[in-house]
């Protein structure tokens, strides 16, 4: 009888021990949940402190506070938008790219903070449709900046822009009148090593009256072919393919890629050799005739020993050095060109 009572007492103690263990576990979990989700500022404070520049830590100026920027969707399938990592702290801006503004963290991680309205700015790549699931953040703070990010012309977007007029705070595009100019490329002044930016209306160096470079003249005189064009989009809004067809009636134009009878891996050393050594002119025709729209293909051609023939909606005098290109718009007809 006494043994039975001892067993009952042990079971009673074990029961209460298990109850106490469960209560403590639940309490601990709820405490963690409260700290990690209900009071997200704790996490934000830790993050800010881990990235804070010691030389700036005593500055309470709002302009010096850390800014967290979220990349909402991918850039043509690239979640990093061509950046080197999923999260970049101020050291990347300060040391790696030597940006004059370095109090930034940029990331594609939506789970960095418990709430989406804690990010200072969210960038939306509008050349792609938003996801069906969670197309846009469900929460938004009055202090947040929503940024319309686009490097393509308006005709290539997957959005009805008139429906999103009141959604964005800032624009980030190739246009020089954007809030943030997202340029495809730029030139550098060799004498000062400073960038020449088209939105600052650059004053180009005067062209010398006499220019003698025997290597360039020798390379130019050995060229045997007239014009080349590397192109993969055969039907475009600018109708550039029709312009090329008209020019082919007057001169020899070798078209490489899906739209022509010649093949060459664009960007390869062999393509560069062809342009440098064999062709005199290259067609740099944009797929859309939009304000300020000049793509990276033209900047790439400017590095080669060839003269680009440009066709687009930009004011090329603002973007390219004088006498470095031929503009289709300067001629009345393709035959005159």
Where residue 308 sits, what CATH number does that domain have? 3.40.50.11660
> Based on the domain organization, do 169 and 89 belong to the same domain?
yes
Query: What whole-number distance in Å separates Cα of residue 198 and Cα of residue 175?
Result: 10
Among 182, 198, 218, give the residue marking a domain's end.
182
16, two tokens: 């209460």
Q: What is the DSSP track for 57-83? A: TT---GGGS-EEEEE-S-BTTBTTTT-
**What pLDDT does 9 receive?**
60
Number of domains, the chain: 2
Minimal CA–CA distance to 155: which of 126, 176, 180?
126
Among 182, 216, 231, give the residue marking a domain's end.
182
Query: What whole-number distance in Å separates Cα of residue 195 and Cα of residue 197?
Result: 6
**What pLDDT does 38 receive?**
40
> Based on the domain organization, do 155 and 281 belong to the same domain?
no
**What pLDDT does 57 receive?**
41
**What pLDDT does 11 receive?**
62
Query: What whole-number distance in Å separates Cα of residue 305 and Cα of residue 219?
Result: 8
Q: 331 to each of 279, 298, 309, 327, 335, how far by Cα in Å?
A: 22, 20, 12, 8, 9
> Based on the domain organization, do 161 and 283 belong to the same domain?
no
Asked if the structure places residue 294 within a domain, the reply is yes
Query: What whole-number distance in Å separates Cα of residue 130 and Cα of residue 100?
Result: 32
**What pLDDT does 96 receive?**
82
Asked if the structure places residue 196 within a domain, the reply is no
**What pLDDT does 12 receive?**
58
**What pLDDT does 197 receive?**
82
State which H helix or E strand residue 124 sits in: strand 121-125
> Based on the domain organization, do 158 and 216 belong to the same domain?
no
Residues of the chain with pLDDT under 70: 1-23, 27-64
Asked if the structure places residue 16 within a domain, the reply is no
Task: Find the farthest-apart pair of alpha carbons in the chain and give their distance in angstroms, rounded.
Answer: 120
Asked if the structure places residue 297 within a domain, the reply is yes
**CA quadruple 25, 28, 30, 36: dihedral sign:** negative
Query: What whole-number distance in Å separates Cα of residue 297 and Cα of residue 308?
Result: 10
> Based on the domain organization, do 108 and 177 belong to the same domain?
yes
**What pLDDT does 42 receive?**
42
Asked if the structure places residue 234 within a domain, the reply is yes
Minimal CA–CA distance to 42: which of 139, 142, 115, 127?
115
Number of H helices, E strands in the chain: 8, 14
Beta strand segments in 138-246, E? 145-150, 170-173, 180-181, 187-188, 195-196, 225-230
**What pLDDT does 19 receive?**
67
> Based on the domain organization, do 146 and 249 belong to the same domain?
no
Cβ partners under 8 Å of residue 128, min gap 6: 73, 74, 76, 158
> Based on the domain organization, do 175 and 86 belong to the same domain?
yes
> Based on the domain organization, do 235 and 282 belong to the same domain?
yes
Asked if the structure places residue 4 within a domain, the reply is no
Asked if the structure places residue 191 within a domain, the reply is no
Q: How many CA atoms lie within 13 A of 68 on its CB side?
A: 22
Asked if the structure places residue 20 within a domain, the reply is no
Query: What whole-number distance in Å separates Cα of residue 26 and Cα of residue 110?
Result: 27
**What pLDDT does 224 receive?**
93
> Based on the domain organization, do 176 and 228 belong to the same domain?
no
Among 182, 197, 229, give the residue marking a domain's end.
182
Query: What whole-number distance in Å separates Cα of residue 300 and Cα of residue 295?
Result: 9
Q: Confirm if 303 and 284 have CB atoms less than 8 A apart.
A: no
Give alpha helix (H) positions in the chain: 2-33, 41-51, 90-91, 214-221, 240-247, 269-277, 296-301, 316-319
**CA quadruple 52, 56, 57, 63: dihedral sign:** negative
Q: Confirm if 289 and 178 have CB atoms less than 8 A apart.
A: no
Contacts by residues 185-188 (CB-CB < 8 Å, ≥ 24 positions apart): 185/296, 185/299, 187/302, 187/321
**What pLDDT does 51 receive?**
53
Query: What whole-number distance in Å separates Cα of residue 198 and Cα of residue 191?
Result: 18
Q: Where in the sequence is the domain holding 162, given as residue range(s)?
A: 45-182
**What pLDDT does 54 receive?**
40
Minimal CA–CA distance to 122: which of 169, 179, 65?
169
């Amino acid at each position: 009888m006494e043994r039975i009572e001892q067993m009952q007492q042990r079971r009673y103690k074990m029961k209460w021990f298990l109850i106490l263990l469960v209560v403590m576990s639940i309490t601990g979990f709820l405490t963690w949940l409260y700290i990690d989700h209900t009071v997200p500022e704790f996490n934000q404070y830790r993050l800010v402190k881990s990235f804070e520049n010691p030389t700036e830590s005593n500055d309470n100026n709002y302009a010096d506070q850390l800014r967290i920027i979220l990349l909402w969707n991918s850039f043509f399938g690239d979640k990093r938008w061509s950046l080197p990592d999923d999260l970049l702290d101020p050291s990347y801006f300060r040391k790696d790219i030597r940006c004059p503004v370095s109090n930034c963290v940029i990331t594609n991680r939506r789970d960095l903070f418990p709430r989406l309205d804690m990010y200072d700015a969210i960038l939306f790549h509008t050349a792609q449709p938003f996801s069906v699931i969670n197309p846009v953040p469900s929460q938004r703070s009055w202090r947040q900046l929503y940024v319309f990010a686009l490097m393509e012309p308006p005709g290539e977007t997957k959005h009805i822009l008139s429906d999103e007029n009141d959604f964005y705070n800032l624009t980030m595009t190739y246009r020089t009148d954007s809030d943030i100019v997202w340029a495809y490329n730029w030139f550098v002044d060799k004498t000062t090593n400073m960038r020449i930016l088209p939105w600052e209306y650059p004053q180009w160096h005067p062209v010398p009256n006499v220019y003698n470079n025997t290597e360039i003249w020798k390379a130019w005189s050995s060229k045997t072919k007239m014009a080349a064009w590397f192109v993969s989009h055969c039907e475009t809004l600018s109708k550039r393919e029709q312009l090329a067809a008209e020019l082919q009636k007057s001169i020899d134009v070798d078209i490489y890629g899906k739209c022509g009878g010649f093949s060459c891996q664009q960007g390869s050393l062999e393509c560069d050799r062809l342009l440098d050594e064999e062709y005199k002119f290259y067609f740099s025709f944009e797929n859309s005739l939009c304000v300020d729209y000049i793509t990276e293909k033209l900047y790439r051609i400017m590095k080669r020993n060839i003269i680009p023939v440009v066709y687009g909606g930009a004011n090329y005098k603002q973007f390219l050095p004088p006498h470095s290109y031929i503009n289709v718009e300067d001629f009345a007809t393709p035959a005159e060109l």
